[in-house]
Each structure stands twice: as structure tokens, then as C-alpha cells.
Amino acid sequence: AVHETVAFATITEHVVRQVSGERAGDLAAVVDRHRRLMTSGPAGGGPEVVLDLLTSDLDLRAWVLSPTGRQIAGAGAPLPGALGAAL
């Protein structure tokens, strides 16, 4: 609750500062991911670099599969063969 004597502009300024701080953190994370992608080698390191970022930053496991379900790239444990074919 906000007391009625507090100006709307004061509330707005507080909210904008909070959101700006969160966005600055998001921007820093994006810049850091971009830097890591760019320093992974001259060719970008292939799909493994992106998949490693998904695993380390977002705790997501992902794989790149061929049309037949064969694993082409992945981060962490390999995808079980039957599951790859089912996907």
C-alpha cells in the first residue's frame, strides 16, 4: 500500500528504476553469452557451443538430430537411441 500523499511520479520513478536494473542485468547476460559464442573459435564452435550455453545458463538439455533421429550434436549425456528415433 502507498500513502495518498506519495506522488504518482515518485511511484513511477521507483518502478522504472527497478525495471531498468532488471533489464541491465538481462543485457549483461546477453552480452556475456554473445562474448562466449564469439570466443569459441573462428567458426563459432558449431552447435555444441549453443547447446552448452543452454545447459549451463538455462539448465536445458537439447540435441540436434538428423531426420532419421541420429544425434548430430548435444550437450551432456547422449540422447537414448530409441528416443531419438521416436522424436
Q: What percent of the chain has pLDDT over 90?
A: 0
Is residue 84, in this structure, part of any structural domain at all? Answer: no
Number of domains in the chain: 1
Is residue 12, in this structure, part of any structural domain at all? Answer: yes
In contact, 49 and 24? CB cutoff 8 Å: no
* Per-residue pLDDT at 10: 82
Is the full-model pTM beyond 0.75? no
- CA 7 to chain CA centroid, Å, is 38
Q: What is the pLDDT of residues 4-30, one digit of tens each?
A: 898 888 888 888 777 777 777 777 777
**38-46 contact pairs (CB < 8 A, 24+):** 46/73
- For residues 39-77, one letter each, b for 16 or more C-beta atoms within 10 angstroms of the residue's C-beta and e for the rest, the string is ebeeeeeeeebbbbbeeeeeeeebbebeeeeeeeebbee
Is residue 69, in this structure, part of any structural domain at all? Answer: no
Is residue 49, in this structure, part of any structural domain at all? Answer: yes
* Per-residue pLDDT at 43: 59
Is residue 19, in this structure, part of any structural domain at all? Answer: yes
Structural domain for 52, as ranges: 8-62
Is residue 70, in this structure, part of any structural domain at all? Answer: no
